[in-house]
Chains A and B, each alone.
Chain A
Amino acid sequence: MSIKMVNVHRAFGEKEVLKGFSLEIQDGTTTTIIGGSGSGKSVALKHIVGLLRPDEGNIWVDEDNVSRLDQESVYRLRQRVGYVFQFAALFDSMTIAENVGLGLRRMSDFPSEGIPDRVEECLHLVDLDGYGERLPSQLSGGQRKRAGLARAIATKPKYILYDEPTTGLDPVTTAVIDELIVRMSEELGVTGVVISHDMKSVFRISDRVAMLYDGVIREEGTPDQIQGSDDPIVRGFIEGRPELMEGQQT
């Protein structure tokens, strides 16, 4: 049981974004995908829940081949996966509490009278106590992001995909969210896939780190392995030294 992406190709028009992307994510681990802006990290993540379909290749979540599933099975699969959007993607006609509770209302085995409590609990986890009745437009960018996180964890999914959960947050809030991601994994056994640009976070929360470069996973390993990598592309990226990456063949 795991998430497995095998040789995924995906282009938008002429532009090839993924060119044979393969990555396996073991159950119970937290894997972070790093890579330059526009390298296709969000695109890769969207393939896991079938928001995008590959031109070629396969994506497995547990026993399901996502790209082959019919619509109804995709929705069933999505109830096992929480998705934190890069720009929160809150429903702006609903309050924060309604946003967080929306996924729960769709779960037939979750009692509807339990929803308010669960919503409050999730808002507390992301440090948004008392914000339930506000509208998304009345929150700051960072608060919206955390509300998006609360919405994704509300249904206690087995997998959570975090698209830059801490980008744009202050250092203290970042640490709180990092802590939350670690706890989701350690206490609830959640399998996490995180996209992050914050190297300190990356090495704090990850069991595995994978670097996306030029449409493929350039290197994948434990945080220590990645930090000790002798690939100039990987080194240049995590140390923020573009001169190392220049002139390298892809």
Chain B
Amino acid sequence: MSSFLAPIRMVGRGALQALTAVGRAGYLGTDAVRALRKVDLWGPHLVPQMSRIGVESVPIALFISMFTGVVLALQASYTLTGQVPLYFVGALVGKTMILELGPVLTGLALSGRVGANIAAEIGTMRVTEQIDALETLAYDPVAYLVTPRVLAGAIMFPMVVILSIAIGIAAGWGTSMALLDITSTEFIKGLRLFFDPWDIQFAAIKSITFGVTVTAVGCSFGFHTRGGAEGVGQATTRAVVISSMIILVLDAFWAAVLLS
């Protein structure tokens, strides 16, 4: 009986831990917003963080979206052949990249790259008492460490996502011309058929929330790290798992709220 209940208990405990993590990240995120008025503390760190979180994430984001674009085009043509005109490939690639795969895949990739990086860095600062040292030098660690990261995430995620979308569509386009006998004109015709400028805004809104999530969760796990190197490792893993989960939940949430 108890062995039968064990998995259920484990799921329950996992869910509870996840909820606690979400609560803590939300709390810290609110503090970070409140610390926005301490511009002298976070101001100097904003641009370096934007570069670390955004610019340095561009290669991985482009790599992912390029291959996604290629696969989307091939799958679309495989599915549509004989049923509908092939220029619908353009419509499918564009719509899917913009609405779903651009934001979500980039978000997940960056939760690994950016979230883990932040959690490890701040976690190390916590266990080596560097955060306490900031406090004793009268630096508010939330304003100094969290605010610039969350702000940089909110600004840079949408930019990286929009770049990914563009590259994904371009890759789909190239694939269509090279492998699928679809002309450039046809692809663009399909692309424009269902295009709605609102879709880009939708992607941007989603990406902003993903950026805030990944950075706030990373900071929060870093801040609450306990123990030495092992604690930092644990914080890093959990930050990635939890922010990936939240990204998927948010994705469904935004679809339900903004698309229906």
Measuring CB to CB, which residues of chain A are less than 8 angstroms from any residue of chain B? 46, 49-51, 71, 75-76, 78-79, 81-83, 85, 87, 89-92, 102-103, 106, 151-152
A51 to B136: give the CA distance in the assembly, Å. Answer: 8
When distances are taken between beta carbons in the complex, the residues of chain B under 8 Å from A85 are 129, 132-133
When distances are taken between beta carbons in the complex, the residues of chain B under 8 Å from A78 are 135-138
A46 to B129: give the CA distance in the assembly, Å. Answer: 11
A50 to B140: give the CA distance in the assembly, Å. Answer: 13
When distances are taken between beta carbons in the complex, the residues of chain A under 8 Å from B140 are 71, 75
A51 to B130: give the CA distance in the assembly, Å. Answer: 12
Inter-chain contact B139/A89, CB cutoff 8 Å:
no
Total contacting residues, chain B, CB less than 8 A: 14
A78 to B133: give the CA distance in the assembly, Å. Answer: 11
Which applies to chain B's interface (DSSP): helix, strand, loop or mixed?
Answer: helix
Closest to B136 in A: A83
- Which of B130, B137, B139 sits near A92, CB closer than 8 Å? B130
When distances are taken between beta carbons in the complex, the residues of chain B under 8 Å from A92 are 124, 128, 130
Inter-chain contact A91/B133, CB cutoff 8 Å:
yes
Most A CB within 10 A of own CB, among B124, B128, B136: B136
A81 to B135: give the CA distance in the assembly, Å. Answer: 11
Query: Chain A's nearest CB lies how many Å from the CB of B52?
Result: 12
Inter-chain contact B137/A103, CB cutoff 8 Å:
yes
Closest to B135 in A: A51
- Which of B124, B130, B133, B139 sits near A83, CB closer than 8 Å? B133
Query: Chain B's nearest CB lies how many Å from the CB of A42?
Result: 10
When distances are taken between beta carbons in the complex, the residues of chain B under 8 Å from A50 are 135
When distances are taken between beta carbons in the complex, the residues of chain A under 8 Å from B128 are 87, 89, 92
Inter-chain contact A106/B133, CB cutoff 8 Å:
no
Inter-chain contact B133/A76, CB cutoff 8 Å:
no
A141 to B135: give the CA distance in the assembly, Å. Answer: 22
Query: Chain B's nearest CB lies how many Å from the CB of A3?
Result: 15
A203 to B137: give the CA distance in the assembly, Å. Answer: 30
Query: Chain A's nearest CB lies how many Å from the CB of B125?
Result: 8
When distances are taken between beta carbons in the complex, the residues of chain A under 8 Å from B134 are 91
Inter-chain contact A46/B138, CB cutoff 8 Å:
no
Inter-chain contact A76/B130, CB cutoff 8 Å:
no
Please name the 7 residue pairs, one residue from A and one from B, whose CB atoms are nearest each other, closest first.
A89-B129, A83-B136, A89-B133, A103-B137, A75-B138, A78-B138, A79-B138
Closest to A81 in B: B136
Inter-chain contact A89/B130, CB cutoff 8 Å:
yes
Most A CB within 10 A of own CB, among B132, B138, B139: B138
Write out, one digit per residue, whether chain B residues 102-145 have a CB within 8 A of any chain A CB (1) or not (0).
Answer: 00000000000000000000001100111011111111100000
Inter-chain contact B132/A76, CB cutoff 8 Å:
no
Write out, one digit per residue, whether chain B residues 139-155 have a CB within 8 A of any chain A CB (1) or not (0).
Answer: 11000000000000000
A93 to B199: give the CA distance in the assembly, Å. Answer: 41
Known: A51-B136, A91-B133, A106-B139. 9 other contacts (CB 8 A): A51-B132, A75-B140, A76-B138, A78-B135, A79-B138, A89-B128, A89-B130, A89-B133, A91-B125
Inter-chain contact B139/A102, CB cutoff 8 Å:
yes
When distances are taken between beta carbons in the complex, the residues of chain B under 8 Å from A91 are 125, 130, 133-134
Closest to A154 in B: B137
When distances are taken between beta carbons in the complex, the residues of chain A under 8 Å from B133 are 83, 85, 89-91, 151
In the complex where A71-B140, A75-B140 touch, is A87 in contact with B135 (Cβ < 8 A)? no
A51 to B129: give the CA distance in the assembly, Å. Answer: 10
A120 to B124: give the CA distance in the assembly, Å. Answer: 28
- Which of B124, B132, B137 sits near A102, CB closer than 8 Å? B137
Query: Chain B's nearest CB lies how many Å from the CB of A82?
Result: 8
A151 to B129: give the CA distance in the assembly, Å. Answer: 14
Closest to A104 in B: B137
Query: Chain A's nearest CB lies how many Å from the CB of B66?
Result: 33
When distances are taken between beta carbons in the complex, the residues of chain B under 8 Å from A83 are 133, 136
Instruction: Return 7 A-B CB contacts under 8 Å, by A number.
Output: A50-B135, A75-B138, A81-B136, A85-B132, A87-B129, A91-B133, A102-B139
Query: Chain B's nearest CB lies how many Å from the CB of A181?
Result: 18
